[in-house]
Structure formats: structure tokens, C-alpha cells
Amino acid sequence: MSKILVIGSMNMDLVVETERYPEEGETIIGGKFQQIPGGKGANQALAAAKLGDDVEFIGACGDDSFAPKLKSSLKNGGAKIDHIFEIEGVSTGVAVITVDKNGNNRIIVSPGANYELLPEKIEKIRDKIIEAEIILLQLEIPLNTIERIVEIASRNKTKIILDPAPAQKLSDSILEKIDYLLPNEGELDLLLKDVKAKSRSEKIKILLKKGIENIIVTEGEKGINYYGQEKEIHLDTLKVKAVDTTAAGDVFAGAFAASLIAENELKKALEFAVQAAAYSVTKIGAQSSIPDKKELTEFLAERSK
């Protein structure tokens, strides 16, 4: 069975480069257009596979022309794809992405088949959840599916990494079972939307008390901050010229999982994830920006000169 099991979304990203975003009711002429495999789940699986070993992705696609391309991207990157559910009469997930000249992006996701990955399908791959060392999850599939996966994994001592994006409020019954929570600043705020906590420190304490073992807050150019029951770690990001930030968080999550399996050392895993995410923002697109081990090594060697 796979050491890392990623369960989540797969999308075809329709990417348009633009000098600026249009105002309401305005039409502007964009630049280059590309179709690039994406989806938070598939991105993370590909990053974990290219930067680690023994990774399987489980998701759902439609019966359209996008599905084979998404499967090929994952398989070519080394991820196992034997348990992707194909849903008849439903479109594969699509993300419409605009990227401005500074590398910032705006994204609209049409979930399509991703929302057909329902709890009854999870029962069919239950053994894979039980036997994996790490489960990597995001929130582009139904929340009741996430709840079921977390319940099975927690009961069987499978470590759970959750990237709580797209941002939404989660129940304590989910949060208390998470081993590693990877929110950005906005997602951290939304997780505690109904709680009267003003400072970052207060929010972190509340989440740790809920039972989360490790919290890693990603903050873009400001780096990352790790919070555990007994220690905190800050790591600066690598200074690079950002071209497109689309999948940086996904690359971070996949690389973190891969290093955690390989090294089983928290700080090394965090450093590795920061390095991989920095590489990704220097390239256009989601899966097209994910490095393999050789590319990342060359990138870091060039920076050290």
C-alpha cells in the first residue's frame, strides 16, 4: 500500500495571463492562454510523488476530454492512479484562473466530478486509508467526505495532514483529529470565525486546545510559522522573482508530506517544503510548476553561487 495517500480534487486549469484584472462590466484583452492540469488534491499528489516516493491519488473525474490529460499528468509524475472514480455525464472539475503581471492570481473553481466523491465511495478505498502512513487532504471535495476520511484515518492511527482550503469553518470533530494543519492567514481566521480571539497567539492556543498536534501557517513572502504544543519555529521564504503563485501552497503541502515520510524530522520537512514552494512560484501554472528532485537540487545549487 502507498505510504502517502492523497484524496482530493482534480481540475483542468484554464489560465489567462493579463496585465491587470478587469473592472466590473469591463472586457479587456488578455495575454497567453494555457490548459494546465491542476486541482489542489492532484497538485499535492504530484508534488509528493515527484519529490518523494510511493504516493497514490484518489479523486473523481468526468467522462470528458480533460480526464485523460489529468490522469496522464499524475501518472507521468510517478503517482498511482488506479482508484480514480470516473463519473458518467458529469464534467471534470475546471478552474478559471487569471494571472497578473506580478504573478498574483484570481481563481474560480467549477467542482464538477469532484463533488461526486461522496462518503460511499470512500468505503470502497477504506483499506488504503487504514494502511497508508500519511493521508493528505484539502477542501475541494464534499465536507462529509472529509469527515468520513478523517474518522477512518484517526481510528486507525494514520497521520492526517489537512490543508484547509478553500477556506471554510470546520467542526471540532474534524479539527481534533488533525495531526498537521496547514492554513494560510485567511484560512486561520475563518477556522475561528465565531471565536472571540484577537491575536494570532490566542487563535493558535485555541486550535491546539482542540486537539490539533501541529499548526503550520503559510504567509507567502513572510515565510512560515510552525506552532506545536511545546515549540515554535519560523522560517523565512526564499527570495525569488514570482511569476505565478497558483500552486505554491499545494507544492508546500506535497513536499512537506514527502519529506516527513523520508526524514521523519519536522524542521527538515519544513525547510524542504519552503524550498519547493519557492521554486514553484518561478514557473507558470499549477502542475507545470512542480519540480522533481533533480530540478529542485539544481535550483538550490544555482542560488548558492
97-114 in b/e form (b: 16+ CB < 10 A) is bbbeeebebebebebbbb
**What stretch of H or E contains 144?**
helix 143-155
283 is in an annotated binding site: yes
127 CA to centre of own chain: 23
Three-state DSSP state, 172? helix
**Annotation marks residue 250 as catalytic:** yes
CB 116 within 8 A of CB 90: yes
218 is in an annotated binding site: yes
246 is in an annotated binding site: yes
292 is in an annotated binding site: no
13 is in an annotated binding site: yes
Three-state DSSP state, 51? helix
43 is in an annotated binding site: yes
219 is in an annotated binding site: yes
Give 100-136 as a 3 state SS string.
Answer: CCCCCEEEEEECHHHHHCCHHHHHHCHHHHHHCCEEE
CA angle 254, 281, 19 (to 5 degrees): 140
173-198 in b/e form (b: 16+ CB < 10 A) is ebbebbbbbbbbeebbeebbeeeeee
CB 112 within 8 A of CB 141: no
230 is in an annotated binding site: no
194 is in an annotated binding site: no
244 is in an annotated binding site: yes
C-alpha distance from residue 27 to each of 20, 23, 104, 255 (Å): 11, 8, 19, 38
249 is in an annotated binding site: yes
Distance CA 131, CA 138 (A): 20
12 is in an annotated binding site: yes
11 is in an annotated binding site: yes
Identified catalytic residue from 64, 82, 250, 292: 250
64 is in an annotated binding site: no
* Residues making up the binding site for K(+): 244, 246, 280, 283, 285, 289
* Residues making up the binding site for substrate: 11-13, 39-43, 140, 250
* Residues making up the binding site for ATP: 184, 218-223, 249-250
* Residues making up the binding site: 11-13, 39-43, 140, 184, 218-223, 244, 246, 249-250, 280, 283, 285, 289
Active-site residues, by number, are 250
